């Protein structure tokens, strides 16, 4: 990943990389003290070299709170870090966001390494430098941009990840194809099942393509003024659905994104921006791989109307000048941002997805 000001960093992907963690880290960061913040759910994969100085973080969003961050900062400071100390973020997106933010604010910024252990973290949250925690007022409202020095992705750790989490991560993978890579969509159509089944070769290709797509967008637009917004394809809807479910276990982020992308395709089709064939192919692909594509498929979804959901969309932080920005598409592989959206099309897509 090439960023301005010489802040380039490397993303290393492979099966079984963690067995060589000691060598990989010593080669790149000789003599540097490493303090590891480890997701409790990924603890079994923590290599010996990182075990001696590791703090275990509780699983789940509770780790993205100020209280949890305070404990982490105290633990880091008790280890008397200096400017050469590095933080290792080992775990899913929760651990990565928390640890990256701790690194960003400790001694005004410590270097850190991302070792993502969920599919979602491997293809999305570990790349791009967004770190942070949640506030009572909303998710991810306290944070900083802080790029890692290295992202180390071992696909073997996914062998213990629940199928539901794999599918949630897959939603973010197929998102990159929808945004700008029709060829990748064709590849996923043939190989998506292998990715979900944990085939090492298929995973490595899907993850590498996803990271490259994200890195390219981030390099161009680190702070999300333009192109980076395309990464939010499906996300305006997704955030409304997640808020409706109070961000609890009913709906994982990636699950919300899959439904959100299906809605974005449906709105694009209704506005005659995208062909029915492309919208259908995109939605069918997700459904064929076991991803939910309709709001009515969410278990225990609250009894909300389309207009309630539109109201929830308005509370998204990615709103500028009081107008909602939607990411729509002209077909698979060509997404674009617009504030010019037919609210009737949005309402109809939501009504159809709710099954009301
Ligand atoms: N910074 C960004 O750019 C960015 C992007 C997308 C999402 N996020 C954030 O990421 C978070 C979601 O991340 P997530 O989907 O990885 O969820 P998560 O971090 O909660 O992980 C999901 C579950 O899997 C467990 N786990 C982790 N690795 C495992 C493994 N190898 N085997 C078995 N279990 C394992 C975790 O302990 C947890 O229980 C959200 O907080 C979201 O806001 C950040
Ligand atoms: Zn997302």
Task: Note the pLDDT tens digit of each residue in 102-122.
Answer: 999 999 999 999 999 999 999
Can you give the pLDDT at residue 338? 93
Atom from ligand 1 closest to the CA of residue 132? 1
The model's pLDDT over 29-61, given as tens digits with 9 standing for 90+, comes to 999 999 999 999 999 999 999 999 999 999 999
Catalogue the E-assigned strands of 65-156.
Answer: 86-91, 111-116, 130-135, 138-145, 150-154
What are the φ and ψ backbone dihedral angles of 102, each rounded to 5 degrees?
A: -60, -45
- Flag whether pLDDT at 153 surpasses 90: yes
Dihedral of CA atoms 241, 247, 250, 252 in degrees, nearest 10, equals 80
Of 89, 201, 81, 224, give the one whose Cα is nearest residue 150.
Answer: 89
Q: Are 335 and 268 in contact (CB under 8 A)?
A: no
If you count them, how many residues does the chain have?
356
The model's pLDDT over 288-310, given as tens digits with 9 standing for 90+, comes to 999 999 999 999 999 999 999 99
Contacts of 328 (CB under 8 A, 6+ apart): 264, 267, 268, 271, 273, 274, 335, 336, 338, 341
CB 180 near ligand 1, within 6 Å: no
Atom from ligand 1 closest to the CA of residue 140? 43
Task: Tell me what the mean pLDDT of segment 310-333 comes to.
Answer: 80
CB 123 near ligand 1, within 6 Å: no
Residue position matching structure tokens 């949250």: 125
CB 160 near ligand 1, within 6 Å: yes
| Least-confidence region, from 64-78, 126-140, 309-323 | 309-323
Of residues 146, 232, 242, 255, which has the active-site annotation?
232
The model's pLDDT over 6-31, given as tens digits with 9 standing for 90+, comes to 568 899 999 999 999 999 999 999 99
Atom from ligand 1 closest to the CA of residue 64? 41
Q: What is the 3-state secondary structure (H, E, C) of 91-105?
A: ECHHHHHHHHHHHHH
Of residues 214, 269, 285, 292, which has the active-site annotation?
214
- Binning pLDDT at 50, 70 and 90, where does residue 325 land? confident
253 in catalytic set = yes
The model's pLDDT over 162-175, given as tens digits with 9 standing for 90+, comes to 999 999 999 999 99
- Flag whether pLDDT at 124 surpasses 80: yes
224 in catalytic set = yes
Of 346, 349, 239, 223, give the one whose Cα is nearest residue 296.
Answer: 349
């Amino acid at each position: 990943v090439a960023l301005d000001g010489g802040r380039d960093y490397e993303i290393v992907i492979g099966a079984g990389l963690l067995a060589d963690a000691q060598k990989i880290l010593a080669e790149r960061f000789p003599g540097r003290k490493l303090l590891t913040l480890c997701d409790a759910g990924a603890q079994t994969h923590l290599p010996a070299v990182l075990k001696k100085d590791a703090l275990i973080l509780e699983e789940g969003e509770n780790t993205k709170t100020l209280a949890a961050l305070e404990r982490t900062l105290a633990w880091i400071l008790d280890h008397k870090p200096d400017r050469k100390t590095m933080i290792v973020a080992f775990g899913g997106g929760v651990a990565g966001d928390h640890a990256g933010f701790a690194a960003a604010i400790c001694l005004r910024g410590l270097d850190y390494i991302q070792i993502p252990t969920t599919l979602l973290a491997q293809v999305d949250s570990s790349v791009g430098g967004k770190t942070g925690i949640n506030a009572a007022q909303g998710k991810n409202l306290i944070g900083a941009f802080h790029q890692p020095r290295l992202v180390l992705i071992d696909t073997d750790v996914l062998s213990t990840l629940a199928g539901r989490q794999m599918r949630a991560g897959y939603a973010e993978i197929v998102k990159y194809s929808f945004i700008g890579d029709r060829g990748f969509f064709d590849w996923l159509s043939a190989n998506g099942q292998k990715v979900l089944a944990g085939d090492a070769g298929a995973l490595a290709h899907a993850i590498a393509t996803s990271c490259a797509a994200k890195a390219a967008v981030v390099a161009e637009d680190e702070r999300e003024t333009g192109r980076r917004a395309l990464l939010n394809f499906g996300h305006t809807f997704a955030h409304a659905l997640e808020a409706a479910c109070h961000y609890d276990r009913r709906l994982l982020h990636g699950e919300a994104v899959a439904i959100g992308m299906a809605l974005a395709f449906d709105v694009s089709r209704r506005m005659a921006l995208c062909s029915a064939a492309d919208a259908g192919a995109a939605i069918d692909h997700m459904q064929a791989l076991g991803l939910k594509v309709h709001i009515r498929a969410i278990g225990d979804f609250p009894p909300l109307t389309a207009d309630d959901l539109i109201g929830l969309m308005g509370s998204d932080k990615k709103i500028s000048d009081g107008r909602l920005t939607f990411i729509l598409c002209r077909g698979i592989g060509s997404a674009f941002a617009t504030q010019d959206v037919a609210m009737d099309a949005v309402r109809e897509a939501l009504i159809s997805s709710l099954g009301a």
